[in-house]
Amino acid sequence: MTGYDIDQIRRDFPILDRKVHGKPLVYLDNAATTQKPRQVIDRLVHYYEHENANIHRGLHTLAEEATAAYEESRRKAGAFINAAHPDEEIIFTRNTTESINLVANAWGRKFLKPGDEIVFSAMEHHSNLIPWQLIALTTGATLRFIEIDDDGKLIWDDALAKITEKTKIVAVTQMSNVLGTINPVRELAALAHAAGAIMLVDGAQSVPHMPVDVRDLDCDFLAFSSHKMLGPTGVGVLYGKRDILDAMDPFLGGGEMIKRVTYESSTYADLPNKFEAGTPNIADVIAFAPAIDYLEALGMDAIRAHEIAITQYAIDALAAVEGVTLYGPRDAADKGGAVAFNYGDLHPHDLSQVLDAEGIAIRAGHHCAQPLMRRLDVVATARASFYLYNRREEVDALVEALAVADRMFGNASTARAAAR
């Protein structure tokens, strides 16, 4: 099933030994945030105990050590996605949301104008929609959406129709946080560039789960988050091609992002400092480095293979439960480790509470994708999402817990079965 020892891996994650309501924790909410290995936790503590200082500005020992560790995380993040110039093309933010807002504001306000078009997929997270809605209001640009089919995949002919000479940016998730669908962002980038547009990839779900090479994709921007890939919360990454970042204006003003300041005007620092105003989240950026090391030691190909196996096992197991409706591709090779489903007429929030009582953590709701929910003709879904430390036994526990919910609520699937 996998190229590494799951039991050995799980020993690195202290929280996985926890019990919830007296039951062993089954953590299936990895698309929201992942758990942290001991190596990340220890690095965070080490910084505060031994290196705590502000970065870039001080000449004393602690400041120099903290700066070196911070910049090492930048280099590792850049190498992880194969950035050509990590020291200039990797910008640290708070999260994927802020990274996309940075592009929308610093690039969009400068380069978009009335009549220009911004193209998305119909499955975008709100973080890759609302920032562009706001910029469209101020620039006069128009939003267009590539439709999806009933299997949750992009309709390629619609992409060909929507990406035109009016398109200025294509902003698409590489992996849907709801459906798990893996989108053809390399091909979309080629279409965008052929039309004279640029390409932004929301990599929040893809970068933690599969090999991602920005030079192979030829995307102009890629946004992702530390906390979805074993690292601390509060750390986002924006990759941008150097020439495009150079042409953009700053997003935030303040300390560190300047060269010279007078009462009347300022000149701005070189990359990446131009986009990192003020004191950053130093400790958590530094603790991001061992998370990257951990993933690279396992190998992203091995992680992807494990997730395909366990996701397919979950799809097949859930599909066999009467009353379960699945959303998105049924072939795990076409998707990431997120499985969205509903169970009879039971509201996903009620289902989530029942599963929690059994020690099982899933996500329930619209998953910050309300337009997609309307496309699926549902108010919400339940979502089980997997990562490198999940086991098949946890999928079995999920399926068994559905029977508990069925007994507790008198689920519609039971009523249908009894009527036959």
Q: Read off the pLDDT of residues 357-375 as tens digits, 9 standing for 90 and up.
A: 999 999 999 999 999 999 9
b/e code 163-195 from CB counts within 10 Å (16+ = b): beebbbbbbbbbbbbbbbbbbebeebbebbeeb
Report the percent of the chain where pLDDT is more than 90.
92
Examine the pLDDT at 162 and tell me if it is beyond 70: yes
pLDDT in tens, 25-46: 999 999 999 999 999 999 999 9
Cα separation, 5 vs 17, whole angstroms: 17
Catalytic positions are 368
| Res. 420 pLDDT band, cuts 50 70 90 | very low
Give me the pLDDT at residue 282, please.
98
**Dist CA 62 CA 43 (whole Å):** 15
Over residues 231-252, the mean pLDDT reads 97
Rounded-to-10 torsion of CA 238, 241, 242, 244: -100
Residue 316 carries which side chain, given as an amino acid letter?
A: D
- Residue 415 pLDDT > 70, yes or no? no
Confidence at residue 51, expressed as pLDDT on a 0 to 100 scale: 97
Examine residue 272 and say whether the peptide bond preceding it is cis (omega within 30 degrees of 0). yes
Which spans in 81-205 are helix H? 86-89, 96-103, 109-111, 130-139, 156-162, 185-194
- The arithmetic mean of pLDDT across residues 63-85, rounded, is 98
Range 6-30+299-419 classified under CATH 3.40.50.10190: no
**pLDDT at residue 417, as a whole number:** 42
Mean pLDDT on 4-12: 96
Q: What is the pLDDT of residues 345-357, one digit of tens each?
A: 999 999 999 999 9
The residue ranges of every structural domain in the chain are 6-30+299-419, 40-296
Instruction: Tell me what pLDDT residue 419 has.
Output: 42
Give residue 409's pLDDT: 87
- With CA atoms as reference, report the closest residue to 346 among 395, 418, 403, 417: 403
Three-state DSSP at 220 gives coil
Look at residue 273 in the predicted model and tell me its pLDDT: 94
The arithmetic mean of pLDDT across residues 16-33, rounded, is 98
Gap between the Cα atoms of 259 and 239, Å rounded: 22
Instruction: For residue 119, give the nearest of 147, 138, 139 by alpha carbon.
Output: 147
Q: Whole-number mean pLDDT of the chain? A: 95
Q: How many Cα neighbours within 13 Å face the side chain of 297? A: 9
Q: Which two tokens stand for residue 342?
A: 């509903």
Amino acid in position 261: V
Sign of CA dihedral 332, 334, 338, 340: negative
215-224: burial string, b at 16+ Cβ within 10 Å, e else: eebebbbbbb
Element (H, E) at 142: strand 142-146
CATH 3.40.640.10 fits 40-296, yes or no: yes
pLDDT of residue 304: 98
Q: For the ranges 187-191, 245-249, 410-414, which has the lowest average pLDDT?
A: 410-414
pTM over 0.85? The answer is yes
Determine which of 18-27, 123-132, 255-264, 268-277 has the lowest per-residue pLDDT on average. 255-264
Planar angle of CA 106, 111, 113, nearest 5 degrees: 125
Residue 411 pLDDT grade (very low, low, confident, very high; cuts 50, 70, 90): low
φ, ψ of residue 25 in degrees (nearest 5): -65, 130
pLDDT of 1 above 50: no
With tokens 């060909």, the residue in question is: 160
Q: How confident is the model at residue 2 (pLDDT cuts 50, 70, 90)?
A: low
Overall average pLDDT of the 244-253 stretch? 95
